[in-house]
Amino acid sequence: MTSTPTADDIHVAARTTVAALAAADITCCLVGSAACYQWGNTRVPNDVDILILSPGSSQSVEEIKARLASSDPATFSLSPPEGKPHATYRKLWCAVPPTGPNLAPDADLSTGKSVRCNIDICFPGPETVKLPPVPPALIASPRGLPVIPLLAALLHKVIAWRVHALAGRVDKQSNDVSDILRLLEVVATRGLDAILVDEGHGTWYPDWFARGAFEGIARFVEEFPESKRELKAVEVGLILEA
């Protein structure tokens, strides 16, 4: 039995995976809840979502996973998704060694590994993950790791909230809402105007991403009117510079 990953575990797993990808000449950035946490969200992510921005020699997601697992089998491993032994994809895990005063009670000291963090790797695109290709010059680093820009992280969460709503995924929506509201606080603290300048006013967003974000904002503010002023300000800032 392994422990549930802590915030520190998630950070170490993210740092380890980013370094391994960099060693393979693959540019990437954190997205999803891991990115939100890097930007100041307080909810600890369940896993690490990584967006591949330069896949190297046209490798697929599964090939990249296999490359990591073969290059460092003591750290990275693959397994079928739970309950789907015949699935055509594998889950990637990063082993985090127990360290310091937060040593897990069930740590296996003989192997030095006690916690496994799930690593989800994806490519940009509108089909499933609905994440835009991030220009390398705009990759942020609020806490030392490469992260999707703040407004793109926020807008992707809004898109995810709407997708989950349409799919009836109430279990996912509650986390989406808390992430969105917290990121709006971060935007307010950092200053929207400065962020818009730093992130190129969203002019690099693909049409499908901008459209999905604006549609999501319209629905979100209907259900959460307390967010209307902040989200509409983001929307206007992006539209004016489009």
Domain co-membership, 78 together with 157: no
The residue segments making up the domain with residue 113 are: 7-122
> Can you tell me the mean pLDDT for 134-148?
96
Q: What is the pLDDT of residues 32-81, one digit of tens each?
A: 999 999 999 999 999 999 999 986 557 899 999 999 999 999 999 999 98
C-alpha 146/C-alpha 161 separation (Å) is 24
Please report whether residue 42 resides in a domain.
Answer: yes
| 193 found inside a domain | yes
The answer to whether residue 132 is domain-embedded is no
Query: Same domain, yes or no, for 88 and 153?
Result: no
The count of domains in the chain is 2
Measuring CA to CA, how many Å separate 224 from each of 48, 158, 182, 205, 213? 28, 12, 13, 25, 16
Cβ atoms 88, 77 nearer than 8 A: no
| Mean pLDDT of the chain, nearest integer | 89
* CATH number for the domain that contains residue 86: 3.30.460.10
Report the predicted TM-score, pTM, of the whole model to 2 decimal places: 0.89
**Token pair belonging to 159:** 């898109």
Confidence of residue 213 (pLDDT cuts 50, 70, 90): very high
pLDDT at 169: 83
Structure letter (DSSP) for residue 85: T
Q: Which stretches within the chain are classed as H helix?
A: 7-23, 32-38, 61-71, 150-166, 170-190, 192-198, 207-223, 228-240
